[in-house]
Structure 1
Amino acid sequence: MTNIENVDPAETWNGLQKDNTAVLVDVRTRAEWGFVGIPDLSQLNRQPFLIEWKEYPMMNTNEAFASELLEKLDGAAPSKIYFLCRSGARSMAAANLMSEIFATQGQATQCINVAEGFEGDLDSDGHRGNMNGWKARGLDWRQS
């Protein structure tokens, strides 16, 4: 396993803003994108890559994840890739996989986990989206 850096959503936004080659990959499911929303990077003249890590509804690991991401990158390995899921677990797994693949290919792409994810941690009432995460931090997002 490689050492993946964890950053919060605000640091992710700042990193994307400072580095126009950096990419955000949202690894949640189609259902999450549709019902919960997606990050809106239009201020940065970009869109997040939407690639399921676990395929809805069976939640099996998407065996084609790496090839789908590499295809979207179209041979241009960015300096940094930020991986985002609901709360930071699936995105960490995706970041680890891609970091290993890039290292094997001799590419210096830094894979970074968005630790709080899109919805953040559960609050005392068992709800997400209130304590932390992309939405709770007031970053741009939209319904897809």
Structure 2
Amino acid sequence: MPVPDISPQDTWAALQANPDAVLIDVRTDAEWNFVGVPDLSALGKQVVLIPWQVFPGMQLNSHFTEHLRKAGVTADSHVYYLCRSGARSLAAGQAAQAAGFPHAYNVADGFEGPVDSEGHRGQIAGWKASALPWRQR
């Protein structure tokens, strides 16, 4: 089953509507610290931070699905995966599905989206450009 792309706005609505929905940010600790993270406090939730790749070598996190389980994710959970622009989160969602977490969704355009004409991210698509809550760590 393919992992569907879901807009950031629809992700926010799903997190708001479903108490058991979870947002997993699969970026690296460096990205969380220097770029920021989604702020779900208005929903009474916290984003779960589980890297798909480990900084600085960027090797795959071999404990990814184990970390999902430790975070309380179950086969019944609806899980929305977020990265910088949507590629790593798609791979993470596919791996999660293969590991027995069938309800995986990819947050389209990720946290920062593609680069604009000036080479900057966060302006034309993604979580930040959608004016959804976020904060610096």
TM-score of the aligned structures, taking structure 1 as reference length: 0.91
Match of 2:93?
95
> Once superposed, what is the RMSD of the aligned Cα atoms?
1.2
Q: How far apart in 2 are the matches of 1:45 and 1:7?
A: 21
- Structure 1 segments (4+ residues) deviating >3 Å: 76-79
Written as runs of structure 1 = structure 2, the 5 A alignment for 1:1-144 is 2-73=1-72, 76-102=74-100, 109-144=102-137
Q: Check whether the contact 2:24–2:79 (CA below 8 A) recurs between aligned residues.
A: yes
Query: What SS is found at the alignment partner of 1:83?
Result: strand
Q: CA offset at residue 78 of structure 1?
A: 4.1
Q: Check whether the contact 1:22–1:78 (CA below 8 A) recurs between aligned residues.
A: no
Q: How far apart in 1 are the matches of 2:5 and 2:106?
A: 5
Instruction: Extract unaligned runs of 5+ from structure 2.
Output: none
Query: What SS is found at the alignment partner of 1:73?
Result: coil
- How much identity, in percent, do the aligned residues show? 48
Q: CA offset at residue 79 of structure 1?
A: 3.4
The amino acid that maps onto 1:62 is N
